[in-house]
Structure 1
Amino acid sequence: MLDGGLSNQLEAQGCDLSDVLWSARLLADAPEQIEAAHLAYLRAGARVLITASYQATFEGFGRYGLDRAGTEALFARSVKLARRAADAARRAGPGRETWVAASVGPYGAMLADGSEYRGRYGLSIGELERFHRPRVAALAAAGPDVLALETVPDLDEAEALVRVAEETGLPY
């Protein structure tokens, strides 16, 4: 069973997600809120935790002055927070397997203009691969169990994401 919409739980916890980075902003500003949301979903019966990296991109964090290393650290934090929640649940109830799925949102999520539901950004498959590759590699390096390729609006982007995901060796 997957967790629910992370943003829904974060808003229920009183978090303001009105920023263009959406829930990814909390990786820097309030990581404890993300871990609390993961724990809430585990208590509700979730067996797969999806990281707070859907909206997280090098370009998005770059607009806030974060460099590549800082952004990679936040990608890793997204996986670490979910893993820590899963470990806490395992200690509380041995034998309960929980997977951590690193969320990879579409190119349009970085644009924060609703285009993640429409697609057709005017980019080639190769350009989409170049956009996704560094983020997917950074998330994979953080040690998730699986990649969650989410809200992929068109076949060109799906093809690009599959090619990039295949390079990691992780299930997706």
Structure 2
Amino acid sequence: MDDLLGDHTWVTDGGLETDLIFNRGVDLPEFAAFPLAADPEGRRTLLDYYTGYAAIARAARAGLLLESATWRASPDWAERLGYGPAALDAATREAVTVVREACEASGARHVLASGSVGPRGDGYRSGGTDADEAAEYHLPQVRAMAAAAADLVHAMTMTGAAEAIGVARAAREVGLPVAVSLTVETDGTLPDGQPLGEALAAVEAAAAPDWFGVNCAHPSHLLAGLDGGAWQQRIAFFRPNASTLSHAELDESEELDAGDLDLLAATTAQVRERTGGVRVLGGCCGTDARHVAALWDVASWAV
């Protein structure tokens, strides 16, 4: 399969859920943003959110890769919100439709609409160990994304190799390219203590994705896990947290930690230098368009 990213670098968006909750005053039960896509006001909010990143992509003369608001759109989480399988399928398709609409209206040189798949459990705790079960679990969500014409699937905040393998297998079954982004703790290892390089190798051997990434960790945390191995060159997606706090500390915090922009930009630059292959750059928890603009060294951008 040809590399969908081509020879381009890509601006992607930031911490959707934390931006909506803390900066825009939107209530997100169970941290789920996907219900907004079916509500006229919620849809406008999502499109406004995406607009800032489109402006950054234009200013940076980069491609624009936007993620659907579906990180929590998996059966277990959706059931808590009253969504059965049919309603969840429709909601997932609608969220992908919204992100595609944002891409088409962006004015960016190149655009990709990505279907975001989050972990079955809590993104701050280690996940299950059965890759086949994970593939079966995530397949309906991935199938809905394919039906809505997503360009790729992005498994984000994966806490272990097994679930990452499962999402990759599901994406392959429906014929979509797939990126797998793992998350790390402050020492650069996965929540279960596995070194990042070992986890990437396990996923690569069982169900090689098109790209690897890291998200939901400050750059300084990722730097702690880089050992100089060749595996580092496989990291193409990077979406850091704004805060240097640990996952446990963030989980207990009731206020947004927007971090230190200068530190975020400096340590992200170190990550890019040491890995050499980051092509898709955005943010995760605590970040918004200001943070992503800083990562791209875009001093002047306008919506």
Shorter-chain TM-score above 0.5: yes
Task: Tell me the equivalent position of 2:148.
Answer: 142
List 4+ stretches of structure 1 deviating above 6 A: none
Task: Tell me the equivalent position of 1:158.
Answer: 164
2:127 pairs, out of 106, 120, 123, with 120
| Higher mean C-alpha deviation, range 54-63 or range 124-133 | 54-63
C-alpha distance in 2, partners of 1:104/1:116? 11
Q: Residues 54-102 of structure 1, C-alpha deviation per residue, up to 9 Å, x if partnerless?
A: 0112333333333322211110111111111111123xx6xx2111111
**What amino acid maps onto 2:144 in structure 1?**
A
Q: SS state of the match for residue 81, structure 1?
A: helix
2:70 pairs, out of 53, 60, 77, with 53
**Structure 1 residues 21-170: aligned runs within 5 Å:** 21-29=31-39, 30-45=42-57, 47-90=64-107, 96-108=109-121, 115-121=122-128, 124-170=130-176
Deviation at 1:21, TM superposition (A): 4.1
Structure 1 118/58 Cα, relative in aligned 2: closer, same or farther at 3 Å?
closer
In structure 1, the gaps of 5 or more residues are 109-114
C-alpha distance in 2, partners of 1:148/1:120? 17
C-alpha distance in 2, partners of 1:23/1:54? 8
Count of residues in Structure 1 that have an aligned counterpart in Structure 2:
160
Asked whether the 8 Å contact 1:117–1:153 carries over to 2, the reply is yes
Q: SS state of the match for residue 66, structure 2?
A: strand
Asked whether the 8 Å contact 1:21–1:56 carries over to 2, the reply is no
In structure 2, the gaps of 5 or more residues are 1-10, 58-62, 179-303
Asked whether the 8 Å contact 2:37–2:98 carries over to 1, the reply is no
Quick check: which one's strand share is greater? 2
Asked whether the 8 Å contact 1:106–1:116 carries over to 2, the reply is yes
C-alpha distance in 2, partners of 1:41/1:14? 19
Structure 1 118/59 Cα, relative in aligned 2: closer, same or farther at 3 Å?
closer
Deviation at 1:104, TM superposition (A): 0.6
Quick check: which one's helix share is greater? 1
C-alpha distance in 2, partners of 1:5/1:32? 17
Q: Is residue 2:30 matched to residue 1:13?
A: no
C-alpha distance in 2, partners of 1:40/1:16? 21
> Could you say which structure has the larger radius of gyration?
2
Deviation at 1:48, TM superposition (A): 0.8
RMSD: 2.0
C-alpha distance in 2, partners of 1:66/1:154? 27
- Structure 2 length normalisation: TM-score? 0.49
C-alpha distance in 2, partners of 1:21/1:135? 17
Q: SS state of the match for residue 33, structure 2?
A: helix
**What amino acid maps onto 2:118 in structure 1?**
G
Deviation at 1:50, TM superposition (A): 0.6
Structure 1 9/43 Cα, relative in aligned 2: closer, same or farther at 3 Å?
farther
Q: Is residue 2:21 matched to residue 1:4?
A: no
Q: SS state of the match for residue 166, structure 1?
A: helix
